[in-house]
Structure 1
Amino acid sequence: MIRKFIFALCMGLCCMACEEALPGYNTSWKGVQFVLPAVLHPEVYSYSFVGKGDISVDTVWFTVRPQGMVPEENCRIKLEQYEKREWKYIYGNDGIIADSVLTVYPRQAVPGVHYIPFDDERMKEHLILKPGELSTQIPVIMLRDESLRDTTYTLFFRIVDSEDLMAGDNEYCHIQLKIADCLTTPAAWDRYFFAGAWSRTKHEFMITISGKEWDDEFISTLSIDDKNYYLFIFNRELKKENAKRAEQGLPPLRDNPDDPATEITFPTIAR
């Protein structure tokens, strides 16, 4: 009986402690963060104006969702560009840091040149989480500047605290968007991609044969059966192309015509 009493007393004290701690938890906290796909580098996206016709402006949409309390009124979402930089440490023979170098990521997007700034009036209506919304989409509006024709620029941006919403989990508040007007490696084309290593020549060949852009949006729709279908087509057409080239006295399709090590190939089965 005494043991039961002591156990009940301890449980009561624990419950009281919990009840006393609860008021300290901010139940009115409201935040927002990106909804990222379950891939190797979910925060990295790519966009190219290639194949988009004569447009001078285009938009990529990103999904966000609230954290904590669901807003009961319009809440502003705040985005900001940040400079991507990192420290590289040089170690001595004793394993101790002997020096360090600050490296700034090259070719970062310029507001007003490569995209419409996040504090621009045209963005305000889009950066809103409405009452009761469990998710919404917010845009990055890109500008087709001349500099994109031969160079890819990267926009590093993140969700930050606004007067209405706090930034959510840091891991889900950062995005890298690569913007180009030339063929560039899609973010979805990582080392696990079914077609093998990326090259401009291979990418152009795939677009010509399939009529598809092979950008992130298209790649994300592919099933394993789709991949195997396209691999069959690419290998068949590459064989035909190389046969034609041989008749003309040309080498097989390569990234560098003078380097046999750069010959274009495709796997036979999707990974």
Structure 2
Amino acid sequence: MIERYIKLSVMGLLGLTGLLSSCSTDELELYDQKKEMLSFAPDESAIKTYSFMSRPEGVMRDTVWFTVNLIGFTSDRDRYYELEQIIPEPTKDTLPSTAPSTPPSVMAEAGKHFVPFDSPEVRQALRFPANAITAQVPVILLRDPSLKQEEVTLRFKLKESSDFNIGYKEYQHRTLKFSDKLVKPNLWVSYFLGTYGPVKHSFMIQATGENWDDDYLRKLGFLPGGYVEVARQAYVMNLVKKLYKKLAAENEARRARGEEVLSEADGTPVTFKSF
């Protein structure tokens, strides 16, 4: 029993202390010791991108992972939490209009683009392990043929369950954009990688054997907000310099065959910095 009270989520309690020092009682609900709280990890990107293009054609489903943190006491038993898709209500901005505008994002459909959060499979997977202070949240994506033509967006949030209350409001939501075509990663930093294009992205994959998606960029030290960890910048610049040389060799081979240099569909040449 003593161990249970000592083994707390340090991350959660530190966050609670910080909020109590900066928020009024109207902004933060009192901590309920009868039921612990969960929040998504604050140091994790709130928006992730994924493409089935990084997987073999026969792979018809894949899982993208998020992280939740415990606020409160650990338990000697497994506990379960719930997720809920956020369905936007129609507004004057989303109602049909005769004026030209940017096409709205396509909302992901449960059962078509992802395994429903209330399905037995997902309910069983949304498990917070005994004695843990963090857990990995699985979102199971389905490779529907429509993803080859369009990117879809899944917005979801933590939902109160029999074991958990929801935690900090600003860390309750996550967004996942996915497709079956190459799309610009959310962590793409133009200063290092230059202007994004699908042809350029495809060349980077072929030249390095890496997917150059958010997961790979995160490993390289890319951060939300358009930054790269200072300690990793020299390594990233060296990678880009290698891509610059490989592109030069590719374009030389193209010219020898009487072809144009590697370009996007609109004719814009693919380029990399030489640093």
Which TM class, normalised by the smaller chain length? 0.7 to 0.9
Q: Which of the numbers 59, 76, 86 marks the counterpart of 1:55?
A: 59
Of 44, 62, 66, 2:47 maps to 44
Q: Which shifted more, 74-83 or 112-121?
A: 74-83
Corresponding residue for 1:176? Answer: 175
Deviations 1:126-182 (A, max 9, x none): 112233211111201111111111211111111121122111112211111112111
Map 1:1-271 to 2 at 5 A. Answer: 26-37=32-43, 42-53=45-56, 54-84=58-88, 101-102=93-94, 105-191=104-190, 194-222=192-220, 223-256=232-265, 259=267, 262-269=268-275
Q: Give the TM-score, by structure 1 length.
A: 0.75
- Letter of the 1:201 partner, please give it: V
Deviations 1:13-65, CA, capped at 9 Å, x for gaps: xxxxxxxxxxx864445100111436xxx201011111311211111121111
CA distance in 1: counterparts of 2:104 and 2:167, whole angstroms: 25
The SS at the match of 2:259 is coil
Q: Are the counterparts in 2 of residues 84 and 105 from structure 1 also a CA contact under 8 Å?
A: no
**Structure 2 unaligned blocks of 5 or more:** 1-29, 96-102, 221-231
1:78 and 1:161 in contact (8 A); partners too: yes
- Does the 8 Å CA contact 2:157/2:173 hold for their aligned counterparts? yes
TM-score under structure 2 length normalisation: 0.74
Distance 2:48 2:194 in 1: 19
Runs of 4+ off more than 6 Å: none
Give percent identity, aligned residues only. Answer: 30
Q: Deviations over 1:186-215 (max 9, x none)?
A: 1221545x2122110110111111111111
For structure 1, list consecutive stretches of 5 or more residues without a partner in the other structure.
1-23, 88-99
Cα 1:124–1:26, aligned 2, differ >3 Å: closer, same or farther? closer
Cα deviation digits, residues 51-83 of structure 1 (max 9, x gap): 311211111121111113334543321100012
- Given that 1:71 and 1:129 are in contact with CA atoms closer than 8 Å, whether structure 2 keeps it comes out as no
Q: What count of residue pairs does the alignment treat as equivalent?
A: 227
**Would you say the 8 A contact 2:240–2:272 is kept in 1?**
yes
Please say which structure displays the higher CA radius of gyration.
1
Distance 1:191 1:171 in 2: 28
Task: Provide closer, same or farther for how the CA distance between residues 63 and 101 of structure 1 changes in structure 2, counting only shifts above 3 A.
Answer: closer
CA RMSD after TM alignment: 2.4
